[in-house]
Structure 1
Amino acid sequence: MASSSSSVGLSFLTRNTIKVPLSIPKSFSPFPKLTFPTISCFYSATPRLDYNSFKKINPIHYCSNLPTASTNNTHYEFSDGSSEVELRLELGQGEITPKDIHVDANESSLAVRIQQSGIVRALMDTSTLYEKIKPAETIWYIDEDQLVISLKKQNSELKWPDIVESWESLSAGITQLLRGTSIYLVGESTEINQRIARELAVGLGYTPLSTEELLEAYAKQSMESWVNEEGSDAVAEAENAILESLSSYARAVIATLGGEKGAAGRANQWRHLFAGFTVWLSLSEATDEETAKEEAKRNMQDSGQGYSNAEVVVKLGGWDPNYSKAVAQAVLSALKRLILADKDLPGKKSLYIRLGCRGDWPEIKPPGWDPSTSPDTSSMSS
């Protein structure tokens, strides 16, 4: 008794480069007291989900603002079984028969409406279920004053924290997928990276770290004065050493330096960034979804730009302090889809770290492999 429609699935792409960092004294501690400025804004997000070979270019998934889940009845019960999830919605007052109920299930969305006396009432209308279902196998029935909907999961191994994809469900559910892997935020703005790192860390229960804060604590001077005295190249090299120190850390969200002074903006300084999942927070002038998609595609194909190595791209159309959590939510949504497309990714990241972050991501070489003996040494530096 369910209607269904089809939707387009997701697929992805990646790139890889190498950089050998300089050394920081062993006495250096990466945990000074951190502070984060209040910034951010979110109008739209375009995650780029990539892995395997950069020769394989696949569709870009686009998120517009926050996923919506509207209902006139805020009372519902949700339970997750091994292969399906069950949703119970309160029907409300009045006699309601099956012919009054309309359930429209899609792979990623669910609309439930009741039509009585020519008036249509929405019980639930969400454009973003927590994960994909098999719409043709949706079953529903009336149980006294409740509508019971059974949705068959496409991925029976994934635990659903809730029926909809939201900040709360993502931050609660994605830890089972990350398996302790750290997250690195890169992009043109240090300030944006720091703000979103803090939001993500609070939601995930991870440690927030900022390479700017760590570098300033180590050098005992401001970033501005350091750049003025020694230049952006020296700062980028120092940040690369910080990234080497942090590459073995688990359960951290690391905000990197933005702009020319940052190591992440340089294509040859990504060796240790590959130890975690990398997210490019990219400022955009796009005013609509299609323009943002095309811009993201162009960015991805620019191999000379370090940020193009990122596994996820989130396009930001502006900033407002009230919407930083929405950007963080888009990041988690994109990371969830990335990992679900290749569930072995966290394990590969762990192996990459154990072998010494040698720069062979994503094609991890056997133990003993030396990047200096590789035929492709053009992207390496010591």
Structure 2
Amino acid sequence: MAAASLISALSLSPLDPSKTLRTSLEELPLRSPRFFFKRRKLPSLTPLLLSNGNGSLKRVESVSSNHLSAAPVGTGNYEFLDSVAEVELRLDIGALDIQSSSDIFVDVDETSLLIRVKASGSLINLMETNRLFDKIRPSETVWYIDEDQLVVNLKKYDTELKWPDIKESWDSLTSGILQLLKGTSIYIIGDSTEINQEVAKELATGIGYTPLYTSELLERYAKKSIDSWVVSEGADSVSEAEGAVLEGLSSHVRAVVATLGGLHGAARRPDKWRHLYAGFTVWLSKSEAPDEASAKEEARRHIKDGSLAYTNAEVVVKLGGWDLKHARDVAQGCLSALKQLILPDKQLTGKKSLYIRLGCRGDWPNIKPPGWDPSSGVDPCPES
């Protein structure tokens, strides 16, 4: 089967350098004689968030064997600084034969950056990414030349979010996601136990969490393989046992839990989700969709239908195939999707913590008051 490779949820066409706008020195109250201010309005680009009908949103990432995420082109020699309200990027251009500042083109929108220079008669890409670490305010972008460096200042959309790097990558995600997760565990679900475990291992290693596999815990307890257990006692018995394991793990923090795939997995059964809601759930879903748009439409249909318990997951990552060598690509897609899920609602982690403290009663995401009895479905009367 073809290898799974991460593709961007959004892609941008190359921008026309002739459309870069500048103002003259006299229009800017700044000292530098080589300061340029660029204003450009582009269509707003937002990640795809799908409603699952219970008031929560889910982030969908697509993984396909036919597409690869765009890689920055250029020297890769840059300095980066996060100064709360803005981020600063410095690129060395001293070795390039740049005749004038008009040979520099900086194009941005909310999520992408393209920097090109005209040198020795050729147009060179210094940096190109359609995945900035987070959204920026493109109309407030400023760039200028400081001796042998091109300096680009980007205004952050979310000033509370610390950027580890200018681009969204495996390294920046594994470093930057911790400020959003705040110790909340991650549960990997899907039809393949093997894929769940390999992706969980990559995630745990990357973010410094503990990897836990329900299959290993169950086999250690039963002293036999999952397959033997299914044959001897049936799929329902295994599912019940995994549900008990998930209950025990629900109070754990900083863990990535790989669950069982197949018909005997607890995550496949709607009545076994109360303890999965203790963490962020990521559904690794294999897809035959030929492209990203089709994969997203497929995810929408699954969520709307709701017949598969996996659709309770908060994040869906579509796989066009599987190869162990690309487990990190899939893990990166998971982190990217989780980041986009949490950023609009940073209270999610606190809400997860409250859900655990109240006993994982199955009332996610609409948490009932203390004293609520899950079996009754009736809210307790407020004290007078």
Query: Which TM-score bucket, shorter chain as reference?
Result: 0.7 to 0.9
**Partner of 1:194 in structure 2?**
197
Aligned-partner Cα distance in 1 for 2:310–2:62:
19
Q: Which residue identity does 1:306 align to in structure 2?
A: A
**In 1, are the aligned partners of 2:88 and 2:154 still within 8 Å (CA)?**
yes
Q: Report the structure number with the largest CA radius of gyration.
A: 2
Q: Which residue identity does 2:88 align to in structure 1?
A: E
Aligned-partner Cα distance in 2 for 1:58–1:250:
22
**Partner of 1:370 in structure 2?**
373
Distance 1:284 1:141, change over 3 A: same
Aligned-partner Cα distance in 2 for 1:176–1:213:
30
**Partner of 1:28 in structure 2?**
none
**Partner of 1:284 in structure 2?**
287
Distance 1:53 1:13, change over 3 A: farther
The count of aligned residue pairs is: 339
Deviations 1:307-364 (A, max 9, x none): 0100000000011122110000000000000000111000000000000000000001
SS where residue 262 of structure 2 aligns? Answer: coil
Q: Which has the higher contact order (CA 8 A, sep 6+)?
A: 1
SS where residue 272 of structure 2 aligns? Answer: coil
User: What's the Cα RMSD here?
Assistant: 1.9
Please give the residue correspondences for 1:324-335 in structure 2 after superposition, counting only pairs within 5 Å: 324-335=327-338
Aligned-partner Cα distance in 2 for 1:348–1:358:
13
**Equivalent of 1:236, from 234, 239, 243?**
239
Aligned-partner Cα distance in 2 for 1:59–1:206:
22
**Equivalent of 2:181, from 172, 178, 183?**
178
SS where residue 111 of structure 2 aligns? Answer: coil
Matched, 1:249 2:252: yes
Residue 59 of structure 1 and its aligned partner are, at CA, apart by 8.8
Which consecutive unaligned segments of at least 5 residues does structure 2 have? 1-36, 380-384
**Percent identical residues:** 59
Aligned-partner Cα distance in 2 for 1:96–1:136:
27
Matched, 1:310 2:313: yes
Q: Which residue identity does 2:38 align to in structure 1?
A: A
Aligned-partner Cα distance in 1 for 2:92–2:315:
39
**In 2, are the aligned partners of 1:67 and 1:165 still within 8 Å (CA)?**
no
Matched, 1:122 2:125: yes
Distance 1:61 1:220, change over 3 A: closer
**Partner of 1:149 in structure 2?**
152
Distance 1:184 1:274, change over 3 A: same
**Partner of 2:88 in structure 1?**
86
Aligned-partner Cα distance in 1 for 2:61–2:288:
18
TM, length-normalised to structure 1:
0.85
Please give the residue correspondences for 1:3-42 in structure 2 after superposition, counting only pairs within 5 Å: 4=40, 5-10=42-47, 12-13=49-50, 15=52
**Partner of 2:9 in structure 1?**
none
Aligned-partner Cα distance in 1 for 2:197–2:268:
16
Residue 269 of structure 1 and its aligned partner are, at CA, apart by 1.1
**In 2, are the aligned partners of 1:14 and 1:309 still within 8 Å (CA)?**
no
SS where residue 164 of structure 1 aligns? Answer: coil
Q: Which residue identity does 1:74 align to in structure 2?
A: G
**In 2, are the aligned partners of 1:10 and 1:61 still within 8 Å (CA)?**
no
Distance 1:111 1:3, change over 3 A: farther
SS where residue 199 of structure 1 aligns? Answer: helix
Residue 95 of structure 1 and its aligned partner are, at CA, apart by 3.8
Aligned-partner Cα distance in 2 for 1:345–1:229:
41
Matched, 1:71 2:108: no
Aligned-partner Cα distance in 1 for 2:220–2:256:
18
**In 2, are the aligned partners of 1:135 and 1:151 still within 8 Å (CA)?**
yes
